[in-house]
Amino acid sequence: MPRIARILSFSFLYATLSSQIFAALPELSSIEPLVFDEGAQKLVARGDARLDVENTRVRADSITYYQEYGLADALGNVAVSRDGGRLIADRMSFDTENSAFSVDILRTGQWPFYLSGVSAGGDTDQMEINGATVYYGNPGRFTLNASSDKVEFINEEDRRIKMHGATLRLGTIPFFYLPSYTYYLGTSPYHLDLNGGTDGELGTYIQTTTLFPVTPWLRLGANVDYYSKRGPLVGPTAQYVYNSSTQRIVGALSTGFIDDSGERDLDLLDRTIESERIFAEWRHKHYIGERFTATAQASYWSDSEVTRDFRDDYYDDNQNPDSFIEGVYAGDNYFISAFGRFRPNEFQLVQERLPEIRFDLLPIPVFNTGIYQRGSASYTRLREDFSDFFPTLDEVTEADRFDLVYRIERPFLLTDWLTFTPIAGARFTQYDNQELDVDTLGATLIDDSYSRDIYELGFDLEARAYASYPTFNETWGIDGLRHLVRPVVRYRYYSDPDSVNEIAAINRQSFDLNRPLLNLSDLRNVDSLAEAHLVRLGVENLYQTRAKGYGSRTLAALNFYQDVLFEKNTRYDGDEQDTFNATWVELIISPAPWLKFDLASRFKTESFTLEELRTRTSLISGEIWEIGLSTDLLNRQIDQYRLDFIYRLNERYALLLNTRFDADTGDFTKFSIGMRTRIGSTWEILYALTFREDARRESDVEFNISVRLAQP
């Protein structure tokens, strides 16, 4: 019936008006027949009336259109839709020719912002709202909002809302006033992070982090804390995101300063911590076009424990801060980079690069020989300062290093399933201007300059096979099963550099339990390279099924590796390596989105003793609960377990549990239980009670309340 009424309405309109006038009119329709007043030159639509003008649609209980003036008056339940946006009002007047309008009692918005006003007027480029309130999230008793007698919405390239005399409120409670404030739409919204609680080391405390948008690309704010046993902590914060057609910049800054009046104890070097304590964290990323990328990170801590005391959530993920800057230009088949690593913190031992200039050539063919070549060339100014660790040290360890690496390889396809790739390479290194405090570090005398060359020979032998099975399982979402297997044999020999006492070794072998790298060109412990002669045997397995829509989905991966050493060196624990050095077993299982299992293990092959085991199991039951179990085992050193559990009681409340167990001591080193809740659509609150055992700096019992402004 409504469709028939609209057709009759259009017919009536067409018969009444001339074709020239009708062409200039917007489209008007309604459930009831349209009424045309020829004397007043107006057209009235009632009952779900609609007015369509280009890409704008107005709906109301009734719409009156004055043809002579190009004006429309909509009354009752007015809804205006344009370009995905929507405005609700009690009444609206619209000038179709100039796209100007005025409305009474309006409501509009786009998540996370919601706006209401007494009246408004303007055009598509600029609108003025009187008696306005802007909400962050759905309006409610605890919603953060700003009220203003006059608000301007400017719809230009940088769309913005300008408030004149803005009162910031929590619900109906005012807490701050701004004479003028401008918010740029499309930028990151406000950020508010509030923590409070009681701790035996800090006392009763409150921690706040705020960020407010001040330009389309910049948010500014502050860290403002108070600790009853330590005093106030303050420091500026900032975040910036800038995008254009040619570049993208993103970064953040977080700082804090406190004159600590509490018990500060000692730092990592057993030195007294001064009362004036500072931390500053800066992260920066810059993309220019498709070729150039710049990355910077700086962490300045006045002492090794400052973030552990006042920003423990950050310290848990970053206990050994790094400060560097790098610029990389990506060519068609090469990279040119400049890298600098610095030591702003006296409590750290850092292998500084001041700087490193590097050229990397990606694998390219050598004419039509089937041979591929790759290489790199670099200059590095190295520096390492032991003075804070050895007070009697007179000289800083320094060196200029020129490093040239070249490698060729030639794959041979022996059969459809077998590939043999011989490899040859060389690494030439020149050291100049070497300095080393021989007496303090217990090293033998070295020359100012030294040249070293190391040669690499080896091969990779890889086989490939697969099988497909018509397996179907609805529970696991398996639609066919494919098993890919790849046995590999990798042989490497590096010549003896014979340079133990000739180099001021700064880039040394670090403690790393991952599978050792095999290629000479990939090794980063340039100053401590030793002769190597080994073969690695491996079997790599991949299990896949069809993915919904397109492609495949990995269900599991199972890999075995065995290193056989013909030249043995020293292990991480000081013992000599065995001929059958280590067996690695790696397993990843992810048969469904709600289940994932990772395992990485290492065995001492000759005695088949488990030396290392790392596992992570994640299980998710829809929207109800999540559980995660992690294990970390390192023979004779670490045997720890971690459990994370979340149970959602309903849409607003969730229970959380986090516990860590040390099997060597038999203690639960950390046990946390908490509840997370949401207030409206704006706030998230976390209540947590934490118990610790033998913590070096933290208290044994801590109660904490965290309040966060929810992000869209």
Residue 382 tokens, joined: 């190295």
CA angle 507/511/516 to nearest 5° reads 85
CA dihedral 20, 24, 30, 36 (to 10 degrees): -50
In which band, very low, low, confident or very high, does the pLDDT at 644 lie, cut at 50, 70 and 90?
very high
- φ, ψ of residue 308 to 5 degrees: the values are -65, -35
Contact criterion met (CB below 8 Å) for 675 and 691? no
**Domain spans in the chain, listed from the N-terminal domain onward:** 2-183, 618-712
Distance of alpha carbon 601 from alpha carbon 291, whole angstroms: 39
CATH topology of domain 2-183: lipopolysaccharide transport protein A fold (2.60.450)
pLDDT at 187 over 80: no
Mean per-residue pLDDT, 393-409: 90
- Chain segment 683-705, per-residue pLDDT in tens: 899 999 999 988 888 889 999 99
Distance of alpha carbon 617 from alpha carbon 643, whole angstroms: 10
Residue 268 tokens, joined: 């990592």
- Chain segment 481-539, per-residue pLDDT in tens: 999 999 999 999 999 887 767 888 888 887 777 788 999 999 988 998 889 999 999 99
pLDDT at 24 over 60: no
Helix/strand/coil (H, E, C) string of 539-562?
A: EEEEEEEECCCCCEEEEEEEEEEE
Mean per-residue pLDDT, 631-645: 89
pTM of the model: 0.81
Residues 5-32: b if buried by 16+ CB within 10 A, e if exposed: bbeebeeebeeebeeeeeeebbebbbbb
- Chain segment 133-143, per-residue pLDDT in tens: 888 878 888 88
- Chain segment 142-167, per-residue pLDDT in tens: 888 888 888 888 877 677 888 888 88
Q: Which of 328, 380, 377 is nearest to 352 (CA)?
A: 380
Q: What is the pLDDT at residue 21? A: 32
